Each structure stands twice: as C-alpha cells, then as structure tokens.
C-alpha cells in the first residue's frame, strides 16, 4: 500500500483541493504507472458536482491517463518498466460474461469497474473501496486494462484519446465509415473535434454540422471538407438525404428530427453525447427511410488499443491546452462556458 498525492473534490460544491489517497500494493498481474498527463473530461465535472447523484467523496476524477510504467507484477509479460502506456475509463470487469468475451468490457453484465467513483468488488481491508482516478501521481492497474501508446504520439495530446478518442472512433469504426461515404459530425467540442479527425483519416467526406457559422474555420482546419450551419434553411435543404452516417456529439437533450432528415435511406445517426432523455422522435421519418438511431459507449479494451494504433499510423491526436494541477478549478469554470479548444490536459508533474 502506497500513499500518494492527488487532487480531490470533498463535497458537492465540486471544488478541487490537494488530497492524499492510497494505492494498492503491486499484484502479480498489475502494472504500476507514474502518471505524466491526464485529460480533463466533461464527465469529471459532472462527477465532482454529483450531477448524476452517485458521487462518493472524497472523489479523485480523471480517466484519460498517460504515463510511464514504473513496476510490473511477476506474471506481467506484455509491459516493462519504461513503457509509455495509457489507462482509460475502465480498470476491471468480470472477464467471464458474454460481453467481456465479446471484448465489450464497458458493457460487462456483472458491472465494469470504472476508473474512478466505482465500488471495488474485492478491496483489501486496508484499501480504499472506491476507485480514484488520474488526478494523482500514480496508479496501479490490472495489465488487461493497460494500453500501449504509440511512440510517435505526443503524450499530452494523446491523453484525451483514452475517452474522447475511443468514444468517437468506436461508432465510426462499428458503422463501417470509409472512403466514399459522406459523414456528418454534429457539434464541435471535445468529442466533435475528434470525430472530424477520425472520419477524415478513415477517408470519408466529412461535414461539420453546427448551429454556429463562427466554427467553420476551425472545422476546416481540423479536417472537415464542408460545414453545414443548421440555422440556414437553404443549407439544410441542400444536404437533405445526403449523409451515410451521422455522429451526434451534442451533450444535452435536443430535437433530433431535423438531423434525421439529413440521413440517406437505410442510414444511421449515433449518439455519444446526450446521456439524458431526448425530445420526441417522428417515427414516420425513420420508417419512411428505414433510418436508425443508435448509441455508443466508449469501447472495449481491444478496440481502444486498435484506436491508439490507428492514431499512431495516421498521427491523430487531440487539440489541447495544457494546465497545471492547481488551475483545475478555473478549467472547470471555463468548461462550463465552452471556453476550451478542445480539451484540457493536466501536466501531472505540476502536482
């Protein structure tokens, strides 16, 4: 058992402050990682404020970790000291259910253990029984949930790939996005900017779909071929029925019907942002064009590794702003007003 420095929220006021946590002793299948960078996800903000009503305090957020292996257990063969590795949204699952057998650990039928704010199933007597995340100096993780990071990727800019990256890569990958397809990415933020980069790297004709024409220049720089401003009725008519796939990253409930009209027949819109009820959907639009609505939650470990390898091959990384740990409260306030292009990443050497 090791005591390490961290930053935690102590109550629902969400204010982050220095804190100490205990990490378990290295097990035979464990990898010990000295955390170098940790991305700041909007989920972190929701968790520290108890927006979902399930937060356990003190709470150390952070599930986009990049670091260096500092020790490995006796039965670990695929990692060694000095390796650059990542840890994403999960640190364990049952490994025996149908979902885990299908490499979909995020859908573990017995409940995946998330990287923070998740109840540990078999915590030792002297071990904290709630997982604590990456806003900390070090983490110990089962080797099955540790990921190899391509050496050519900038470490800080690779950190958000562990959540924002896999969240957008997985639906694009699962729905077969490829050259010759027209793909719309709805919403330009932490998720949307990664959706543009991935769809472009997959060879699709990428259209950024936004309510704000001011985002057009940024979208083009990120790899979008066109920009559709939904407030422009003529543009909406022009693009009606043109899209093979829509990736919807809007983080709140909204009217999906105008977007459904953009889909070709027999095509899909997938949600990755709105974890809440949506407004009523016009069934006639879906039935008439055999259109589908789908959802996607991060990705399994196998697919996440595939995503990282894809990023290494195509040099895909996040657009980031590095911050010191002491500035996290200011960063949370800026996130509330969408004042970040496009992800904050904490330099953990500043802790």
**Hey, which bits of the chain come out as E strands?**
2-9, 16-23, 30-40, 65-72, 84-87, 90-92, 113-114, 138-142, 147-148, 182-186, 205-210, 226-229, 243-248, 263-271, 292-295, 320-324, 343-347
pLDDT of residue 1: 86
Quick check: 124 pLDDT over 80? no
Query: Which CATH number covers residue 203?
Result: 3.40.50.720
User: Do 140 and 181 belong to one domain?
Assistant: no
Cα dihedral angle (47, 49, 55, 59), rounded to 10 degrees?
Answer: 80
User: What is the model's pLDDT at position 201?
Assistant: 98
pTM of the model: 0.96
| Percent above pLDDT 70 for the chain | 99
Is residue 121 predicted with pLDDT exceeding 90?
Answer: no
Q: What is the mean pLDDT of the chain?
A: 96
Domain assignment of residue 258, given as a range: 165-295
Determine the pLDDT at residue 212: 87
Same domain? 171 vs 240: yes
| Res. 126: pLDDT tops 70 | no
Instruction: Mark whether 271 and 146 lie in a shared domain.
Output: no
Q: What is the share, in percent, of the chain residues with pLDDT greater than 90? A: 93
pLDDT in tens, 10-47: 999 999 999 999 999 999 999 999 999 999 999 999 99
pLDDT value of position 125: 62
- Per mean pLDDT, which range of 124-138, 160-174, 217-231, 299-313 is the poorest? 124-138
Q: Kindly state whether residues 272 and 157 are assigned to the same domain.
A: no
Number of structural domains in the chain:
2
Q: Do residues 141 and 229 share a domain?
A: no
pLDDT tens figures, 215-256: 899 999 999 999 999 999 999 999 999 999 999 999 999 999
- Do both 329 and 274 map to the same domain? no
DSSP string of 81-133?
Answer: TT-EEEE-SEEE--SSSHHHHTT-GGG-TT--EESSS-B-SS--TTS-SB---
The enclosing domain of 145 has a CATH number of 3.90.180.10
């Amino acid at each position: 058992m090791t005591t390490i420095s961290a930053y935690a929220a102590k109550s629902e006021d969400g204010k982050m402050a220095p804190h100490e946590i205990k990490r378990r002793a290295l097990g035979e299948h464990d990898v010990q990682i000295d955390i170098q960078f940790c991305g700041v996800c909007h989920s972190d903000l929701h968790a520290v404020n108890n927006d979902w009503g399930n937060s356990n305090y003190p709470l150390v957020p952070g599930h986009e970790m990049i670091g260096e292996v500092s020790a490995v257990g006796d039965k670990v063969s695929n990692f060694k000291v000095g390796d650059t590795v990542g840890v994403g949204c999960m640190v364990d699952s049952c490994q025996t259910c149908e979902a885990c057998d299908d490499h979909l650990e995020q859908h573990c039928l017995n409940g995946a253990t998330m990287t923070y704010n998740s109840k540990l199933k078999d915590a030792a007597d002297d071990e904290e029984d709630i997982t604590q995340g990456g806003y900390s100096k070090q983490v110990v993780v089962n080797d099955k949930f540790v990921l190899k990071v391509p050496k050519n990727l900038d470490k800080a800019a690779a950190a958000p790939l562990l959540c924002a990256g896999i969240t957008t890569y997985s639906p694009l990958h699962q729905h077969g996005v490829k050259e010759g397809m027209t793909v719309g990415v709805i919403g330009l933020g932490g998720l949307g900017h990664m959706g543009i980069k991935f769809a472009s790297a997959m060879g699709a004709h990428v259209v950024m779909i936004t309510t704000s024409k001011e985002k057009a220049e940024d979208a083009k720089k990120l790899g979008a071929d066109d920009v559709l401003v939904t407030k422009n009725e003529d543009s909406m008519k022009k693009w009606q029925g043109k899209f093979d796939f829509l990736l919807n990253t809007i983080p709140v409930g909204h009217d999906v019907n105008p977007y459904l009209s953009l889909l070709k027949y027999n095509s899909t819109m997938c949600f990755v942002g709105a974890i809440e009820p949506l407004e009523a959907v016009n069934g006639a639009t879906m039935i008439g064009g055999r259109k589908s609505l789908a959802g996607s939650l991060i990705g399994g470990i196998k697919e996440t590794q595939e995503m990282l390898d894809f990023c290494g091959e195509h040099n895909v990384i996040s657009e980031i702003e590095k911050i010191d740990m002491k500035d996290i409260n200011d960063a949370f306030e800026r996130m509330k007003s969408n004042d970040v292009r496009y992800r904050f990443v904490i330099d953990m050497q500043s802790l």
